[in-house]
Amino acid sequence: MLAAGEASGDLHGAALCRALRAEAPGYRLYGMGGARMADAGMDLLVDVTAAAVAGGTEALNRIPVFYRAYRRLRRALDGARRPRVLVVIDSPEFNLRLARAARRAGVPVVYFIPPQVWVWRSWRVKTIRRVISLVLAVFPFETALYRRAGVPVEFVGHPLLDALAGAPDRAAARRQLGLDDRALVIGLLPGSRREEVERVLPAMREGVTAIGAARREARFVLALAPTVELTAVERRLGAGGPVAIAHDRTHAVMRAADLLLVASGTATLEAALLGTPMVVCYRVSRLTELMVRSLMRVPWISLPNLTLGRAVVPELTQEAATGERLGREALRLLDTPGALDTQRAAFSELQGQLGAPGVGARAARLVLSEAGVVS
């Protein structure tokens, strides 16, 4: 059984599903995920990817959806044909609860893309030690952290290395999007959750206006996540605006752009691995902000800064995440000689820190070993 609760987990879960089917084709894969995991051969018991939210208070009105999903998976864990292993992917609020139920049912649990306890909620490592059989670490420094805490762990590398293998180069991406090779292209990535889009896209729209006023030659393209409705984006962009919308072309937008305005999340690490400079922004409710600030252990929110341990990309959060500030930061990067190249040079360091391609296959072999399956 596998459990992924949001778009990025569905993406990485799909790669793991394909690798599991290649290694052990006779075994059934089933559980919670999205369209990508279903396409990769998993029997979908429940899909909550469209219901995923950012923050704590924002999740309150989705509790019934996740509770129904939890009960459906609990029944599968306790049934006559319970799984040989449960693989939980990211989404710690949901998956740690499911992991407890699996352990009570005698099912070993593998955590793929574990919680970032090095960033916040460090106390979660105690729960992980109790209920997780094996952690598959995606950052190399996580290995020592979990071992010190007494948690079995193996470093497999970051699954984005596999996910980005098929990304187009710059020229091909621009052809896909109908963009001139010489155009100044600004990409917008407002997130994969409806609440994220609602909070950051108005500021991005105002930032587009500021950038367009100073750089009239600029072209703007927004990457629409498959978990976000087109109408939700169109309402916040307004009719007749300068922003083109690209459906399911996230990597093309990242590769084609000279600069990105991007909501904090997995997309920031994807963009960094593709070498595209960015300005990161994020907004959550005031109550969630207060909660997060009390639990955070580091001064950054974006994965490039967190992974490299220094401020590489500018971050604008909460009241600072305004259209005026976004536009000003973007123009500063575009107009300051060497500023974009400084980000690209820092991003090149990430390539050597996140392992090597073949993450899905390495993870699959470890999952099968935990399940007692010889591939």
| Average confidence (pLDDT) per 10 residues, the chain, 375 residues | 92 96 96 96 91 52 86 91 94 94 96 80 87 95 91 96 93 97 97 89 96 97 92 87 94 98 94 97 67 58 90 92 96 97 95 90 97 82
The amino acid at residue 67 is Y
Residue 328: predicted pLDDT: 97
Starting at the edge strand found earlier in the chain, the sheet holding 43-46 runs 43-46, 30-32, 2-4, 86-89, 109-112, 134-137, 153-155
Question: What is the CA angle 69-75-78, rounded to 5?
Answer: 140
Query: What is the value of pTM for the model shown?
Result: 0.85
- Write down the number of H helices and E strands in the chain: 17, 13
What local confidence, expressed as pLDDT, does residue 290 receive? Answer: 52
CA 365 to chain centre: 23
pLDDT (0 to 100) of residue 292: 53
- Please choose, from the candidates 202, 259, 206, the residue with its C-alpha nearest in 3D space to the C-alpha of residue 234: 202
The pLDDT value given to residue 252: 98
Kindly provide the residue ranges of all beta strands, DSSP E only, lying in 175-283, ordered along the sequence.
Answer: 185-189, 219-224, 243-247, 259-263, 278-282
How does DSSP classify residue 60? G
Give all domains of the chain, ordered by start, each with its CATH number: 2-163+357-370 (3.40.50.2000), 170-353 (3.40.50.2000)
Residue written as token pair 């399911």 = 248
* pLDDT at residue 57, as a whole number: 46
